[in-house]
Structure 1
Amino acid sequence: MQAICLNEFKRLFKSIKSMIVIAMIFFVSFKVAEVIEHAPADMVRELDLGVDSTAIGTTLIVFMLGFLIITGLSHDMINREVNERTMRFLVTKTSRHQIILGKYLGVWLFWLVCMLASYILVMIVSKTFLWQSAADSMAFLTAAIALNLLFSIIFPKPAMSMFFGIVFALFFPAVSLWAIYSDNIMISWFKYLTPYYYSSLGNYFVLINIVYAAVVLAGAIALFNRRDL
Protein backbone atom coordinates (compact mmCIF):
# COMPACT_ATOMS: atom_id res chain seq x y z
CA MET A 1 0.00 0.00 0.00
CA GLN A 2 2.85 2.38 0.85
CA ALA A 3 4.46 1.89 -2.58
CA ILE A 4 1.15 2.56 -4.33
CA CYS A 5 0.61 5.67 -2.22
CA LEU A 6 4.07 7.07 -2.96
CA ASN A 7 3.79 6.27 -6.66
CA GLU A 8 0.47 8.13 -6.96
CA PHE A 9 1.84 11.03 -4.92
CA LYS A 10 4.94 11.36 -7.12
CA ARG A 11 2.93 10.91 -10.32
CA LEU A 12 0.82 13.94 -9.46
CA PHE A 13 3.84 16.11 -8.72
CA LYS A 14 5.44 15.12 -12.02
CA SER A 15 2.35 16.12 -14.01
CA ILE A 16 2.39 19.41 -15.94
CA LYS A 17 -1.30 19.86 -15.16
CA SER A 18 -0.58 19.53 -11.46
CA MET A 19 2.18 22.13 -11.64
CA ILE A 20 -0.18 24.58 -13.35
CA VAL A 21 -2.86 23.97 -10.73
CA ILE A 22 -0.38 24.38 -7.87
CA ALA A 23 0.92 27.63 -9.35
CA MET A 24 -2.65 28.93 -9.73
CA ILE A 25 -3.58 28.04 -6.14
CA PHE A 26 -0.42 29.61 -4.73
CA PHE A 27 -0.77 32.79 -6.79
CA VAL A 28 -4.46 33.32 -5.98
CA SER A 29 -3.97 32.47 -2.28
CA PHE A 30 -1.10 34.89 -1.81
CA LYS A 31 -2.49 37.76 -3.90
CA VAL A 32 -5.99 37.65 -2.39
CA ALA A 33 -4.51 37.48 1.12
CA GLU A 34 -2.33 40.47 0.29
CA VAL A 35 -5.30 42.49 -1.03
CA ILE A 36 -7.49 41.65 2.00
CA GLU A 37 -4.70 42.41 4.45
CA HIS A 38 -4.16 45.88 2.96
CA ALA A 39 -7.86 46.65 2.48
CA PRO A 40 -9.48 49.15 4.85
CA ALA A 41 -10.78 47.48 8.01
CA ASP A 42 -14.24 48.95 7.48
CA MET A 43 -14.46 47.41 4.01
CA VAL A 44 -13.47 43.95 5.28
CA ARG A 45 -15.99 44.26 8.10
CA GLU A 46 -18.78 45.24 5.68
CA LEU A 47 -17.96 42.32 3.41
CA ASP A 48 -18.28 40.04 6.48
CA LEU A 49 -15.49 37.73 5.34
CA GLY A 50 -14.93 36.37 8.85
CA VAL A 51 -11.84 35.88 10.97
CA ASP A 52 -10.14 33.89 8.18
CA SER A 53 -10.72 36.58 5.57
CA THR A 54 -7.14 36.44 4.29
CA ALA A 55 -7.70 32.80 3.28
CA ILE A 56 -10.72 33.63 1.11
CA GLY A 57 -8.73 32.98 -2.09
CA THR A 58 -7.81 29.44 -1.10
CA THR A 59 -11.31 28.81 0.26
CA LEU A 60 -12.97 29.85 -3.01
CA ILE A 61 -10.68 27.60 -5.03
CA VAL A 62 -11.32 24.61 -2.75
CA PHE A 63 -15.09 24.92 -2.52
CA MET A 64 -15.93 26.29 -5.97
CA LEU A 65 -13.29 24.54 -8.11
CA GLY A 66 -12.16 21.69 -5.87
CA PHE A 67 -14.22 18.96 -7.53
CA LEU A 68 -13.29 20.20 -11.02
CA ILE A 69 -9.56 20.30 -10.26
CA ILE A 70 -9.56 16.87 -8.61
CA THR A 71 -11.43 15.47 -11.61
CA GLY A 72 -8.88 16.96 -14.00
CA LEU A 73 -5.95 15.49 -12.08
CA SER A 74 -7.26 12.22 -10.62
CA HIS A 75 -10.41 11.11 -12.43
CA ASP A 76 -8.65 7.91 -13.55
CA MET A 77 -7.11 6.71 -10.29
CA ILE A 78 -8.42 3.16 -10.74
CA ASN A 79 -9.74 2.76 -14.29
CA ARG A 80 -6.37 3.91 -15.71
CA GLU A 81 -4.69 0.92 -14.09
CA VAL A 82 -7.46 -1.41 -15.27
CA ASN A 83 -7.24 -0.21 -18.88
CA GLU A 84 -3.45 -0.40 -18.92
CA ARG A 85 -3.63 -3.95 -17.53
CA THR A 86 -1.36 -3.00 -14.63
CA MET A 87 -4.15 -3.64 -12.14
CA ARG A 88 -3.85 -7.39 -12.67
CA PHE A 89 -0.22 -7.16 -11.63
CA LEU A 90 -1.05 -5.07 -8.56
CA VAL A 91 -3.68 -7.52 -7.27
CA THR A 92 -1.07 -10.28 -7.31
CA LYS A 93 1.17 -8.22 -5.02
CA THR A 94 -1.35 -6.78 -2.56
CA SER A 95 -5.03 -6.89 -1.60
CA ARG A 96 -7.69 -4.89 -3.40
CA HIS A 97 -8.59 -2.76 -0.42
CA GLN A 98 -4.92 -1.79 0.01
CA ILE A 99 -4.82 -0.70 -3.63
CA ILE A 100 -7.83 1.56 -3.05
CA LEU A 101 -6.40 2.98 0.17
CA GLY A 102 -2.96 3.45 -1.38
CA LYS A 103 -4.37 5.35 -4.36
CA TYR A 104 -6.56 7.46 -2.12
CA LEU A 105 -3.80 8.33 0.34
CA GLY A 106 -1.42 9.26 -2.50
CA VAL A 107 -3.87 11.83 -3.86
CA TRP A 108 -4.79 12.98 -0.34
CA LEU A 109 -1.13 13.59 0.56
CA PHE A 110 -0.69 15.61 -2.64
CA TRP A 111 -3.54 17.90 -1.62
CA LEU A 112 -2.32 18.07 1.99
CA VAL A 113 1.04 19.40 0.77
CA CYS A 114 -0.72 21.88 -1.54
CA MET A 115 -2.99 23.16 1.23
CA LEU A 116 -0.19 23.46 3.78
CA ALA A 117 1.91 25.42 1.29
CA SER A 118 -1.06 27.65 0.41
CA TYR A 119 -1.82 28.47 4.03
CA ILE A 120 1.85 29.09 4.75
CA LEU A 121 1.80 31.68 1.96
CA VAL A 122 -1.31 33.20 3.54
CA MET A 123 0.49 33.17 6.90
CA ILE A 124 3.28 35.29 5.42
CA VAL A 125 0.68 38.01 4.89
CA SER A 126 -1.62 37.47 7.89
CA LYS A 127 1.20 36.61 10.35
CA THR A 128 -0.84 33.68 11.69
CA PHE A 129 -1.57 30.17 10.49
CA LEU A 130 -5.33 29.80 9.95
CA TRP A 131 -5.76 26.32 11.39
CA GLN A 132 -9.57 26.27 11.32
CA SER A 133 -9.79 27.33 7.69
CA ALA A 134 -7.06 24.86 6.71
CA ALA A 135 -8.82 22.01 8.54
CA ASP A 136 -12.14 22.88 6.88
CA SER A 137 -10.57 22.94 3.40
CA MET A 138 -8.74 19.65 3.95
CA ALA A 139 -11.81 17.90 5.40
CA PHE A 140 -13.82 18.98 2.36
CA LEU A 141 -11.11 17.76 -0.04
CA THR A 142 -10.97 14.47 1.87
CA ALA A 143 -14.60 13.83 0.90
CA ALA A 144 -14.17 15.16 -2.66
CA ILE A 145 -11.22 12.84 -3.37
CA ALA A 146 -13.20 9.84 -2.09
CA LEU A 147 -16.09 10.63 -4.43
CA ASN A 148 -13.76 10.92 -7.42
CA LEU A 149 -12.14 7.60 -6.57
CA LEU A 150 -15.61 6.01 -6.44
CA PHE A 151 -16.40 7.42 -9.91
CA SER A 152 -13.14 5.94 -11.18
CA ILE A 153 -14.39 2.51 -10.14
CA ILE A 154 -17.96 2.93 -11.39
CA PHE A 155 -16.89 4.06 -14.87
CA PRO A 156 -14.57 1.56 -16.60
CA LYS A 157 -13.07 4.01 -19.11
CA PRO A 158 -11.02 7.10 -18.17
CA ALA A 159 -12.85 9.16 -20.80
CA MET A 160 -16.17 8.29 -19.16
CA SER A 161 -15.01 9.16 -15.64
CA MET A 162 -13.55 12.42 -16.97
CA PHE A 163 -16.80 13.41 -18.68
CA PHE A 164 -18.97 12.48 -15.70
CA GLY A 165 -16.54 14.12 -13.29
CA ILE A 166 -16.67 17.43 -15.15
CA VAL A 167 -20.47 17.40 -15.35
CA PHE A 168 -20.66 16.46 -11.68
CA ALA A 169 -18.19 19.20 -10.70
CA LEU A 170 -20.27 21.81 -12.54
CA PHE A 171 -23.69 20.84 -11.18
CA PHE A 172 -23.01 19.34 -7.75
CA PRO A 173 -21.86 22.58 -6.05
CA ALA A 174 -24.86 24.48 -7.43
CA VAL A 175 -27.38 21.80 -6.39
CA SER A 176 -25.68 21.47 -2.99
CA LEU A 177 -25.91 25.19 -2.25
CA TRP A 178 -29.50 25.25 -3.47
CA ALA A 179 -30.39 22.41 -1.10
CA ILE A 180 -28.58 24.05 1.84
CA TYR A 181 -30.38 27.37 1.54
CA SER A 182 -33.74 26.17 0.20
CA ASP A 183 -36.88 25.95 2.34
CA ASN A 184 -38.42 23.49 -0.12
CA ILE A 185 -38.52 20.08 1.56
CA MET A 186 -38.35 18.42 -1.87
CA ILE A 187 -34.78 19.67 -2.34
CA SER A 188 -33.53 20.55 1.17
CA TRP A 189 -33.08 16.87 2.14
CA PHE A 190 -30.26 16.64 -0.40
CA LYS A 191 -28.00 18.79 1.79
CA TYR A 192 -27.32 15.81 4.05
CA LEU A 193 -25.70 14.03 1.08
CA THR A 194 -23.27 16.80 0.27
CA PRO A 195 -19.98 17.71 2.00
CA TYR A 196 -20.80 21.38 1.41
CA TYR A 197 -23.46 21.22 4.13
CA TYR A 198 -21.11 19.98 6.84
CA SER A 199 -18.54 22.61 5.90
CA SER A 200 -21.22 25.30 6.07
CA LEU A 201 -21.99 24.31 9.69
CA GLY A 202 -18.47 25.26 10.76
CA ASN A 203 -16.62 24.37 13.97
CA TYR A 204 -16.22 20.65 14.63
CA PHE A 205 -19.02 19.78 12.20
CA VAL A 206 -16.52 20.01 9.34
CA LEU A 207 -14.99 16.77 10.66
CA ILE A 208 -18.15 14.97 9.57
CA ASN A 209 -16.70 15.19 6.07
CA ILE A 210 -13.99 12.77 7.19
CA VAL A 211 -16.69 10.29 8.21
CA TYR A 212 -18.40 11.04 4.87
CA ALA A 213 -15.17 10.14 3.06
CA ALA A 214 -14.80 6.93 5.08
CA VAL A 215 -18.32 5.82 4.11
CA VAL A 216 -17.66 6.56 0.42
CA LEU A 217 -14.33 4.69 0.58
CA ALA A 218 -16.03 1.68 2.19
CA GLY A 219 -18.51 1.66 -0.70
CA ALA A 220 -15.67 1.99 -3.23
CA ILE A 221 -13.80 -0.95 -1.68
CA ALA A 222 -16.95 -3.11 -1.66
CA LEU A 223 -17.63 -2.28 -5.31
CA PHE A 224 -14.02 -2.87 -6.37
CA ASN A 225 -13.92 -6.24 -4.60
CA ARG A 226 -16.82 -7.37 -6.80
CA ARG A 227 -15.32 -6.00 -10.03
CA ASP A 228 -13.77 -8.34 -12.60
CA LEU A 229 -10.37 -7.16 -13.76
Structure 2
Amino acid sequence: MFAVAKEEFRNLAINIKMILLVILIALFNYNISNMLTSQLSIDGIPKAYAGLRIIFFILGYLLISIFSHSVLNKEIADGTLKFILSKVSREEFIVGKFLGIFLFWTMCMLINISMLSILGVTFSFYILWMLCSAVSYFISIVMLLSVLIKKENFSNFMGLFVGILFPTIGLYVTESSNMLVKYFQYIFPYFYLLKGGIYIMIPYILSFILLLFVVIIFNKKEV
Protein backbone atom coordinates (compact mmCIF):
# COMPACT_ATOMS: atom_id res chain seq x y z
CA MET A 1 0.00 0.00 0.00
CA PHE A 2 2.70 2.49 1.00
CA ALA A 3 4.78 1.55 -2.05
CA VAL A 4 1.79 2.39 -4.27
CA ALA A 5 1.30 5.68 -2.40
CA LYS A 6 4.99 6.55 -2.72
CA GLU A 7 5.00 5.85 -6.46
CA GLU A 8 1.84 7.90 -7.06
CA PHE A 9 3.24 10.78 -5.02
CA ARG A 10 6.55 10.62 -6.91
CA ASN A 11 4.81 10.62 -10.30
CA LEU A 12 2.93 13.78 -9.38
CA ALA A 13 5.87 15.50 -7.71
CA ILE A 14 8.27 15.08 -10.67
CA ASN A 15 5.69 16.15 -13.28
CA ILE A 16 6.90 19.48 -14.69
CA LYS A 17 3.30 20.55 -15.33
CA MET A 18 2.52 19.89 -11.69
CA ILE A 19 5.50 21.95 -10.55
CA LEU A 20 4.35 24.84 -12.73
CA LEU A 21 0.84 24.47 -11.34
CA VAL A 22 2.09 24.68 -7.75
CA ILE A 23 4.02 27.85 -8.66
CA LEU A 24 0.91 29.37 -10.30
CA ILE A 25 -1.21 28.56 -7.23
CA ALA A 26 1.42 30.17 -5.01
CA LEU A 27 1.52 33.32 -7.18
CA PHE A 28 -2.26 33.56 -7.32
CA ASN A 29 -2.54 33.12 -3.58
CA TYR A 30 0.25 35.65 -2.99
CA ASN A 31 -1.48 38.27 -5.15
CA ILE A 32 -4.82 37.69 -3.44
CA SER A 33 -3.19 37.90 0.00
CA ASN A 34 -1.51 41.18 -0.94
CA MET A 35 -4.88 42.68 -1.82
CA LEU A 36 -6.29 41.71 1.56
CA THR A 37 -5.17 42.48 5.07
CA SER A 38 -4.13 39.85 7.61
CA GLN A 39 -6.91 40.97 9.94
CA LEU A 40 -9.32 38.29 11.05
CA SER A 41 -12.52 37.89 9.09
CA ILE A 42 -15.93 37.25 10.61
CA ASP A 43 -15.35 33.51 10.94
CA GLY A 44 -11.98 34.02 12.64
CA ILE A 45 -9.89 33.04 9.61
CA PRO A 46 -7.24 35.45 8.28
CA LYS A 47 -8.43 37.11 5.08
CA ALA A 48 -5.06 36.34 3.51
CA TYR A 49 -6.18 32.72 3.18
CA ALA A 50 -9.01 33.73 0.85
CA GLY A 51 -6.92 32.84 -2.22
CA LEU A 52 -6.32 29.27 -1.09
CA ARG A 53 -9.95 28.78 -0.19
CA ILE A 54 -11.09 30.04 -3.60
CA ILE A 55 -8.59 27.80 -5.41
CA PHE A 56 -9.32 24.57 -3.56
CA PHE A 57 -13.06 25.04 -2.97
CA ILE A 58 -13.95 26.08 -6.51
CA LEU A 59 -11.09 24.72 -8.64
CA GLY A 60 -9.96 21.85 -6.39
CA TYR A 61 -11.83 19.10 -8.20
CA LEU A 62 -10.81 20.39 -11.63
CA LEU A 63 -7.12 20.60 -10.70
CA ILE A 64 -7.06 17.11 -9.21
CA SER A 65 -8.97 15.64 -12.13
CA ILE A 66 -6.65 17.17 -14.75
CA PHE A 67 -3.71 15.17 -13.41
CA SER A 68 -5.41 12.11 -11.87
CA HIS A 69 -8.48 11.43 -14.02
CA SER A 70 -6.89 8.18 -15.29
CA VAL A 71 -5.47 7.09 -11.94
CA LEU A 72 -7.26 3.71 -12.18
CA ASN A 73 -8.49 3.13 -15.74
CA LYS A 74 -5.02 3.72 -17.20
CA GLU A 75 -3.53 1.02 -14.98
CA ILE A 76 -6.26 -1.38 -16.13
CA ALA A 77 -5.91 -0.48 -19.81
CA ASP A 78 -2.12 -0.77 -20.12
CA GLY A 79 -1.94 -4.10 -18.29
CA THR A 80 0.42 -3.01 -15.51
CA LEU A 81 -2.25 -3.66 -12.89
CA LYS A 82 -1.78 -7.45 -13.08
CA PHE A 83 1.83 -7.10 -11.95
CA ILE A 84 0.95 -4.65 -9.17
CA LEU A 85 -1.87 -6.85 -7.84
CA SER A 86 0.55 -9.74 -7.56
CA LYS A 87 2.24 -7.77 -4.79
CA VAL A 88 -0.62 -5.91 -3.09
CA SER A 89 -4.33 -6.49 -2.62
CA ARG A 90 -6.92 -4.52 -4.56
CA GLU A 91 -7.94 -2.69 -1.40
CA GLU A 92 -4.32 -1.73 -0.67
CA PHE A 93 -3.92 -0.54 -4.26
CA ILE A 94 -6.95 1.78 -4.01
CA VAL A 95 -5.93 3.17 -0.62
CA GLY A 96 -2.34 3.61 -1.82
CA LYS A 97 -3.46 5.59 -4.87
CA PHE A 98 -5.66 7.78 -2.69
CA LEU A 99 -2.90 8.42 -0.16
CA GLY A 100 -0.35 9.27 -2.85
CA ILE A 101 -2.62 11.90 -4.43
CA PHE A 102 -3.75 13.20 -1.04
CA LEU A 103 -0.19 13.59 0.26
CA PHE A 104 0.88 15.49 -2.84
CA TRP A 105 -1.92 18.05 -2.57
CA THR A 106 -1.37 18.32 1.18
CA MET A 107 2.26 19.19 0.43
CA CYS A 108 1.08 21.79 -2.10
CA MET A 109 -1.19 23.39 0.50
CA LEU A 110 1.55 23.30 3.14
CA ILE A 111 3.92 25.14 0.81
CA ASN A 112 1.37 27.86 0.19
CA ILE A 113 0.39 28.25 3.84
CA SER A 114 4.07 28.36 4.81
CA MET A 115 4.67 31.10 2.22
CA LEU A 116 1.91 33.18 3.80
CA SER A 117 3.40 32.65 7.25
CA ILE A 118 6.70 34.04 5.92
CA LEU A 119 4.75 37.14 4.87
CA GLY A 120 3.57 37.55 8.44
CA VAL A 121 0.24 35.71 8.36
CA THR A 122 -0.38 33.33 11.26
CA PHE A 123 0.14 29.70 10.20
CA SER A 124 -3.31 28.10 10.35
CA PHE A 125 -3.62 24.36 10.94
CA TYR A 126 -7.37 24.90 10.84
CA ILE A 127 -7.16 26.09 7.22
CA LEU A 128 -4.95 23.12 6.35
CA TRP A 129 -7.46 20.74 7.95
CA MET A 130 -10.30 22.43 6.06
CA LEU A 131 -8.53 22.32 2.68
CA CYS A 132 -7.50 18.70 3.19
CA SER A 133 -11.15 17.88 3.88
CA ALA A 134 -12.17 19.37 0.53
CA VAL A 135 -9.31 17.67 -1.30
CA SER A 136 -10.06 14.23 0.18
CA TYR A 137 -13.65 14.47 -1.06
CA PHE A 138 -12.60 15.58 -4.56
CA ILE A 139 -9.98 12.81 -4.86
CA SER A 140 -12.61 10.21 -4.00
CA ILE A 141 -14.95 11.53 -6.71
CA VAL A 142 -12.10 11.54 -9.26
CA MET A 143 -11.21 7.94 -8.38
CA LEU A 144 -14.87 6.88 -8.57
CA LEU A 145 -15.17 8.27 -12.10
CA SER A 146 -11.87 6.67 -13.07
CA VAL A 147 -13.04 3.22 -12.02
CA LEU A 148 -16.45 3.65 -13.66
CA ILE A 149 -15.14 4.95 -17.01
CA LYS A 150 -13.01 2.57 -19.07
CA LYS A 151 -11.52 4.94 -21.62
CA GLU A 152 -8.84 7.37 -20.45
CA ASN A 153 -9.79 10.08 -22.96
CA PHE A 154 -13.42 9.99 -21.93
CA SER A 155 -12.53 10.17 -18.25
CA ASN A 156 -10.48 13.27 -19.07
CA PHE A 157 -13.49 14.86 -20.77
CA MET A 158 -15.80 13.91 -17.90
CA GLY A 159 -13.30 15.28 -15.42
CA LEU A 160 -13.31 18.67 -17.12
CA PHE A 161 -17.10 18.62 -17.44
CA VAL A 162 -17.70 17.64 -13.82
CA GLY A 163 -14.97 20.02 -12.66
CA ILE A 164 -16.93 22.96 -14.07
CA LEU A 165 -20.40 21.68 -13.18
CA PHE A 166 -19.63 20.35 -9.68
CA PRO A 167 -18.80 23.62 -7.86
CA THR A 168 -21.52 25.48 -9.79
CA ILE A 169 -24.26 23.11 -8.64
CA GLY A 170 -22.71 22.53 -5.22
CA LEU A 171 -22.51 26.21 -4.32
CA TYR A 172 -25.93 26.90 -5.84
CA VAL A 173 -27.76 24.28 -3.75
CA THR A 174 -25.81 25.37 -0.67
CA GLU A 175 -26.86 28.99 -1.01
CA SER A 176 -30.34 28.34 -2.44
CA SER A 177 -33.43 29.32 -0.43
CA ASN A 178 -35.52 26.65 -2.21
CA MET A 179 -36.07 23.92 0.39
CA LEU A 180 -36.48 21.15 -2.21
CA VAL A 181 -33.16 22.07 -3.82
CA LYS A 182 -31.45 22.72 -0.49
CA TYR A 183 -31.62 19.05 0.55
CA PHE A 184 -28.97 18.29 -2.09
CA GLN A 185 -26.44 20.45 -0.22
CA TYR A 186 -25.73 17.55 2.11
CA ILE A 187 -24.09 15.44 -0.61
CA PHE A 188 -21.66 18.25 -1.50
CA PRO A 189 -18.75 19.31 0.72
CA TYR A 190 -19.41 23.06 0.55
CA PHE A 191 -22.16 23.15 3.17
CA TYR A 192 -19.89 21.50 5.75
CA LEU A 193 -16.80 23.51 4.81
CA LEU A 194 -18.67 26.81 5.09
CA LYS A 195 -20.20 25.79 8.42
CA GLY A 196 -16.73 25.05 9.76
CA GLY A 197 -15.91 23.56 13.15
CA ILE A 198 -16.75 19.89 13.63
CA TYR A 199 -18.65 19.90 10.31
CA ILE A 200 -15.29 19.83 8.52
CA MET A 201 -15.02 16.17 9.49
CA ILE A 202 -18.04 15.20 7.38
CA PRO A 203 -16.36 15.48 3.94
CA TYR A 204 -13.71 13.09 5.28
CA ILE A 205 -16.48 10.64 6.17
CA LEU A 206 -18.12 11.10 2.76
CA SER A 207 -14.73 10.51 1.15
CA PHE A 208 -14.39 7.23 3.06
CA ILE A 209 -17.84 6.11 1.90
CA LEU A 210 -17.00 6.99 -1.72
CA LEU A 211 -13.76 5.02 -1.48
CA LEU A 212 -15.74 2.01 -0.30
CA PHE A 213 -17.80 2.24 -3.49
CA VAL A 214 -14.56 2.50 -5.49
CA VAL A 215 -13.24 -0.67 -3.84
CA ILE A 216 -16.51 -2.56 -4.44
CA ILE A 217 -16.59 -1.61 -8.14
CA PHE A 218 -12.86 -2.21 -8.58
CA ASN A 219 -13.11 -5.68 -7.05
CA LYS A 220 -15.61 -6.63 -9.77
CA LYS A 221 -13.30 -5.48 -12.57
CA GLU A 222 -11.36 -8.02 -14.60
CA VAL A 223 -7.70 -7.15 -15.10
**Same-fold call, TM > 0.5?**
yes
Matched, 1:86 2:90: no
Residue 195 of structure 1 deviates from its aligned partner by: 1.0
Residue 134 of structure 1 deviates from its aligned partner by: 1.7
Three-state SS of the structure 2 residue aligned to 1:37 is: coil
2-structure distance, mates of 1:200, 1:37: 21
Residue 186 of structure 1 deviates from its aligned partner by: 2.8
Contact 2:8 2:101 in 1 (8 A): yes
The code of the aligned residue for 2:53 comes to T
* More displaced stretch, 130-139 vs 142-151: 130-139
Q: Which residue among 214, 221, 224 is the counterpart of 2:218?
A: 224
Residue 50 of structure 1 deviates from its aligned partner by: 5.3
Residue 163 of structure 2: aligned partner: 169
Matched, 1:54 2:10: no
The code of the aligned residue for 1:75 comes to H
Contact 2:46 2:121 in 1 (8 A): no
The code of the aligned residue for 1:92 comes to S
Write the deviation string for residues 197-223 of structure 1: whole angstroms up to 9, x where unpaired. 111111121111111110011110011
Contact 1:78 1:153 in 2 (8 A): yes
Unpaired stretches in structure 1, ≥5 consecutive residues: none
2-structure distance, mates of 1:51, 1:81: 41
1-structure distance, mates of 2:45, 2:201: 19
1:196-215 mapped onto 2 (5 Å cutoff) = 196-215=190-209
Residue 98 of structure 1: aligned partner: 92
1:1-229 mapped onto 2 (5 Å cutoff) = 1-37=1-37, 51-229=45-223
Contact 1:148 1:165 in 2 (8 A): yes
1-structure distance, mates of 2:55, 2:48: 13
Contact 1:4 1:106 in 2 (8 A): yes
2-structure distance, mates of 1:130, 1:97: 33
Unpaired stretches in structure 2, ≥5 consecutive residues: none
2-structure distance, mates of 1:126, 1:216: 38
* More displaced stretch, 98-107 vs 194-203: 194-203
2-structure distance, mates of 1:178, 1:11: 35
Contact 2:48 2:121 in 1 (8 A): no
The code of the aligned residue for 2:51 comes to G
Q: Could you tell me the percent identity over the aligned residues?
A: 27
Three-state SS of the structure 1 residue aligned to 2:59 is: helix
Residue 31 of structure 1 deviates from its aligned partner by: 2.5
1-structure distance, mates of 2:192, 2:104: 23
The code of the aligned residue for 2:222 comes to D
The code of the aligned residue for 1:177 comes to L
In terms of fraction of residues, the more helix-rich structure is: 1
Write the deviation string for residues 21-56 of structure 1: whole angstroms up to 9, x where unpaired. 101111112232233238xx7xx97xx685320111
Residue 65 of structure 1 deviates from its aligned partner by: 0.8
